[in-house]
């Protein structure tokens, strides 16, 4: 089996709607990136790169995306070491009076712990990393950060009236986070093809892509060392003659008649001795047909089942560990772990927290990386404030270019932002035909013609220095590590330009002015 690993860094909020989000227009996002999303994105890139007319007749397409020889696992959060998280087992418990203690003990009921009447509850956190340090075993718990945005829908996008407007919200994965994904394939050649498709770095995923959602960057794409049974977990030994099975992703199970059922009996073909489970709706969306997929009840990731070892078919268990169980396995459903984790007690620790007293001068590589990320986040918060002030302050005066010209210019700005190359915008301006050039020459920003302002001030970083750049004393530092503002110069310059163009287009539509 061959594995291709990668990381997805969110550059914008990512909206991946979960079934049953409530109000029709609102969207409550998933806490992970489904394998189906990555698979759908790669399908689009493959068809475009190979100019495939009839995908069903293309043998490579069928092998890569339909036959089941390639499986696209879900992308889960990664920690400061770059390790991919796994869902927290639902058999874990903490004492109720220790629920807020960040270093509380976690007890695993599936591993044989007897709560003996004690009041316990599930620990907080959707995902976990297991760390063994000398004689202690730690479980770092975390949930992805989310951002909530309010939107207003109406019959006229640019005019909002009480009688025909509807307020709704999106709760999406917040930008700045990183998720780790895996693609499993039987053939090394298939891995090479997919690696090339992912190597193109940036992409748009999820919903509401035209509303500022979905921009991501693929990073650290590479093949894992080949192994006969690559696994997402480290298998331990069973306890008391039992085999403990934990779902690493939702599982859509089918009974003998083919009817979908979340009954644990259909997981391994035998009834478990104990079960710690939850059920939720699993859905999806087909962008080809612009239709949602049928929803089905699935056993939730993290569900735990305890079986007697002598009741399990070992050959079948080995097979489902490799291939998964149930429906939609190609999309990452039905993944499971056996005898993971193998400890009855663990110590809880919040993800990103350290239990040592490392000084600034002795920062370990992983700690230094964490400090750099924190400093960058603080820097971005300050730059966002400067960006909003600059967009509100700037305006296009004199003759206003047509909305068509402004929209084309906005696309060029976004391309320069995505590719982190201000030359994209300069080359676009140099290629303008005479009518379009004259429009930009008549328009003014400040005391300069707009064309000159765009070409000269962008090339010489004058826009960045005048409107966004922070003073040396304003740049944040964490543990002695100062954020690098230079790496964000092009991004925030282009975002300022896009904000200005977007504001001008909206003003003209509402006011009915301009060409």
CATH value at residue 187 = 3.30.70
CB count within 10 Å of CB 387 equals 18
Question: Per-residue confidence at 226, pLDDT binned at 50, 70, 90?
Answer: low
Report yes or no: 137 and 131 within 8 Å, Cβ to Cβ.
yes
For residue 164, the model assigns a pLDDT of 61
Across the range 233-257, mean pLDDT stands at 82
| Mean pLDDT for the stretch of residues 231-256 | 82
- Check whether 229 has a pLDDT greater than 60: no
Least confident span in 145-149, 185-189, 235-239, 298-302? 235-239
- Residue 73 in domain: yes
Q: Which helix (H) or strand (E) holds 299?
A: strand 296-299
Q: How confident is the model at residue 515 (pLDDT cuts 50, 70, 90)?
A: very low
- What string of DSSP letters covers 106-171? EEEGGGT---TT--EEPPS-SEEEEEEETTEEEEEEE---EEEEEEEEESSTT---GGGEEEEEEE
d(CA 321, CA 103): 32
Instruction: Check whether 227 has a pLDDT greater than 70.
Output: no
The pair of three-digit structure tokens given for residue 246, joined into one six-digit string: 């934990």
pLDDT bucket at 276, cuts 50 / 70 / 90 = very high
> The tokens of 209 are what?
């892509």
Determine the Cα–Cα distance for residues 512 and 305; give it in Å rounded to an integer.
64
Q: Write out the two tokens for 448.
A: 């300069």
What is residue 355's predicted lDDT score, i.e. its pLDDT? 39
Instruction: Pick the last residue of a domain from 223, 246, 277.
Output: 223
Are the C-beta atoms of 302 and 89 separated by less than 8 Å? yes
Among 223, 238, 270, identify where a domain stops: 223
Answer for the pair 203, 99: CB distance below 8 angstroms, yes or no.
no
What's the mean per-residue pLDDT of the chain? 83
What's residue 322's pLDDT?
87
Q: What is the pLDDT of residue 256?
A: 80
Which residue is it, tokens 């939107």?
A: 151
| CA gap 498, 409 in Å, rounded | 9
116: left (phi over 0), alpha (psi -120 to 50) or beta: left
28-37, 87-96, 146-155, 303-312, range with the lowest pLDDT:
146-155
37 within a domain of the structure (yes/no): yes
Question: Do the domain assignments include residue 159?
Answer: yes
Report pLDDT digits (tens) over 394-414.
899 888 899 999 999 999 999
Q: Using one digit for the tens of pLDDT, what is the confidence trace for 334-362? A: 999 998 887 888 888 766 544 333 334 45
What pLDDT shows up at residue 484? Answer: 86
Res. 285: pLDDT tops 50? yes
The yes-or-no verdict on residue 160 having pLDDT over 60 is no
Rounded to 10 deg, the angle between the 35-50 and 188-198 helix axes is 90
The count of C-alpha atoms lying within 13 angstroms of the C-alpha of 210, restricted to the half-sphere facing its C-beta, is 2
- Report CA-CA distances (Å) from 165 to 148, 153, 155, 156: 19, 5, 7, 9
**132 neighbors 159 (Cβ within 8 angstroms):** no
Residue 17: how many other CB atoms lie within 10 Å: 21
Burial state string for 39-52 with b = 16 or more CB within 10 A and e = fewer than 16:
bbbbbeebeeeeee
DSSP, collapsed to helix, strand or coil, labels residue 455 as helix
pLDDT of 367 reads 74
Cα-to-chain-centroid distance, residue 161: 35
Q: Is residue 391 part of a domain?
A: yes
3-state class (DSSP) for residue 272: coil
Q: Which helix H or strand E contains 181, and what residues bound it?
A: strand 178-185
Let me know if residue 423 belongs to a domain.
yes
Q: What is the mean pLDDT of residues 193-202?
A: 84
Note whether residue 457 is domain-resident.
yes
pLDDT at 55: 83
pLDDT on residue 183? 93
Among residues 300, 296, 299, the alpha carbon closest in space to that of 259 is found at 296
Contact, 74 vs 332, CB < 8 A? yes
Q: Which of these three, 168, 201, 223, is where a domain ends?
A: 223
Greatest mean pLDDT among 115-124, 278-287, 328-337, 349-358? 328-337
pLDDT value at position 260?
A: 85
Helix axes 403-419, 434-442, angle to 10 degrees: 90
CA–CA distance, 387 with 373 (Å, rounded to integer): 20
Instruction: Please give the structure tokens belonging to residue 123.
Output: 């620990």
Query: Which residues lie closer than 8 Å to 372 by C-beta, 6 or more apart?
Result: 478, 481, 483
Q: What is the pLDDT of residue 115?
A: 64
Q: Is residue 52 part of a domain?
A: yes
> Does residue 326 fall inside a structural domain?
no
Instruction: State the residue range of the domain holding 455.
Output: 360-511
Pick the closest to residue 79 from 29, 34, 144, 134 (CA basis).
144
Quick check: 395 and 508 in contact, CB under 8 A? no
State both tokens at 472.
């040396």
Q: Distance between CA atoms of 199 and 152, rounded to whole angstroms?
A: 37
Q: Is the pLDDT of residue 228 over 60?
A: no
Better-predicted residue by pLDDT, 76 or 149? 76
Strands 274-276 and 279-282: unpaired
CA atoms within 13 A on the CB side of 92: 28
Total domain count for the chain?
2
């Amino acid at each position: 089996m061959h594995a291709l690993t990668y990381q997805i860094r969110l550059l914008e909020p990512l909206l991946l709607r979960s079934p049953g989000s409530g109000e029709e227009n609102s969207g409550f996002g998933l806490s992970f990136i489904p394998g189906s999303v990555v698979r759908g994105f790669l399908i689009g890139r493959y068809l475009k790169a190979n100019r495939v007319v009839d995908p069903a007749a293309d043998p490579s397409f069928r092998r890569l995306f339909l036959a089941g020889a390639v499986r696209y696992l879900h992308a889960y959060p990664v920690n400061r070491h770059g390790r991919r998280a796994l869902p927290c087992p639902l058999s874990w418990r903490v004492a109720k009076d220790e629920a807020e203690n960040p270093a509380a003990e976690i007890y695993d009921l599936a591993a044989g712990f007897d709560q003996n009447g004690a009041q316990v509850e599930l620990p907080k956190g959707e995902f976990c990393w297991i760390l063994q340090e000398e004689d202690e075993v730690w479980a770092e718990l975390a949930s992805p950060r989310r951002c909530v945005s309010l939107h207003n829908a109406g019959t006229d996008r640019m005019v909002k009236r009480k009688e025909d407007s509807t307020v709704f919200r999106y709760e999406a994965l917040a930008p700045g986070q990183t998720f780790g994904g895996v693609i499993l394939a039987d053939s090394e050649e298939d891995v090479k093809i997919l690696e090339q498709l992912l190597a193109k770095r940036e992409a748009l995923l999820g919903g509401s892509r035209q509303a500022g959602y979905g921009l991501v960057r693929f990073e650290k794409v590479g093949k894992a060392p080949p192994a006969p049974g690559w696994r997402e977990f480290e298998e331990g030994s069973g306890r008391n003659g039992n085999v403990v099975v934990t779902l690493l992703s939702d599982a859509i199970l089918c009974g003998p008649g083919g009817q979908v059922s979340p009954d644990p009996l259909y997981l391994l073909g035998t009834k478990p001795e104990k079960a710690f489970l939850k059920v939720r709706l699993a859905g999806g969306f087909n962008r080809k047909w612009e239709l949602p997929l049928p929803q089905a009840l699935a056993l939730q990731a993290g569900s735990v089942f305890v079986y007697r070892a002598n009741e399990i078919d070992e050959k079948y268990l080995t097979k489902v560990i490799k291939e998964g169980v149930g429906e939609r396995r190609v999309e990452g459903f039905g993944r499971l772990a056996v005898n993971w984790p193998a400890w009855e007690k663990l110590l809880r620790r919040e993800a990103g927290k350290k239990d040592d007293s490392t000084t600034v001068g002795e920062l370990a590589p992983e700690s230094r990386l964490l400090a750099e990320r924190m400093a960058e986040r603080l820097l971005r918060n300050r730059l966002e404030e400067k960006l909003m002030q600059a967009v509100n302050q700037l305006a296009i005066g004199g003759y206003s270019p047509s909305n068509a010209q402004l929209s084309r210019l906005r696309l060029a700005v976004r391309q320069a932002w995505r590719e982190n190359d201000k030359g994209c915008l300069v080359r676009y301006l140099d290629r303008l035909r005479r009518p379009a050039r004259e429009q930009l020459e008549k328009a003014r920003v400040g005391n300069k013609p707009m064309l000159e302002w765009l070409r000269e001030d962008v090339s010489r970083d004058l826009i960045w220095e005048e409107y966004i750049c922070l003073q040396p004393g304003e740049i944040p530092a964490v543990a002695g590590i100062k954020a690098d503002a230079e790496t964000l110069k092009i991004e925030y310059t282009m975002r300022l330009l896009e904000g200005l163009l977007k504001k001008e287009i909206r003003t003209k539509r509402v006011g009915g002015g301009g060409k």
